Amino acid sequence: EIQFDGFTYPALDQIFSHAARMRTRTRSNITCPIVVRFPYGGGIRALEHHSESPETYFIHTAGLKVVVPSNPYDAKGLLISAIKDPNPVIFMEPKRIYRAIKQEIPDDSYTVPIGEAKIVREGKDCTIISWGAMVREAERAARELESAGVDCEVIDVRTLSPCDYKTIIESVKKTGRAVIVHEAPRTLGFGAEISARIQERAILSLKAPIFRVTGPDVPYPLFKLENYYLPNAEKIIEAVKKVIGF
């Protein structure tokens, strides 16, 4: 366990150069069944190294699995799956929702499969794709847009690597529109990869360009400015209205 997202950087050499490569390096004779668990993301009025979203570094590294739950039920089920997995798993917890959501959680052990996204709200007009704390913002945006006659589908990606592109593509083919939401900076964020996959496999179904709602390309700011930095429901609504009106 690493205390905060920004404290992972000194460990990256061991994670990238050794843990991620162990299976391939030994021709599967040795695996590295570890879980690297840490809180990430903003919204807690903290400084840099405490509020960053470094998922892209891990997703880009072959040999790692990357998991981001958005609620307590998935957190327990995905963590148990990660512990049972023979490969190294990066388990990122959105700290701003640690005490924001209450659910009834079974006492018994259960698993949520790694590699499966979840449609948390069905809709027909636009697909909103997100993970972690941004799923709540996406759901809030979808509820407000419903009153304006816009029916949004919301996908919780849950596992960023391996990513369930099949669920995403099928949804976008149905709605014809996509808005991707994440806290990390825009350039080369995971939203760009999702956008590329949609373009490759569903471009003829698109009725509008794919929009991204992300953090800007700057270091995470002082807490007085984090509300300007972070995506929120209002910014998502603005993006959805643009794709609907295209």
- Give catalytic residues, as residue numbers: 50
CA distances from 126 to 37, 118, 140, 155, 210 (A): 33, 16, 14, 11, 10
Structure tokens at 23: 């299976």
Is residue 122 classed exposed, middle or buried when 0-12, 13-18 and 19+ CB atoms within 10 A define those classes?
A: exposed
Structure tokens at 132: 């972690």
Please choose, from the candidates 106, 99, 149, the residue with its C-alpha nearest in 3D space to the C-alpha of residue 124: 149
Amino acid at 55: E
> How many CA atoms lie within 13 Å of 93's alpha carbon, on the beta-carbon side?
21
**E strand spans, the chain:** 35-40, 65-67, 89-94, 118-121, 126-130, 152-156, 159-161, 178-185, 211-215
DSSP state of 113: -
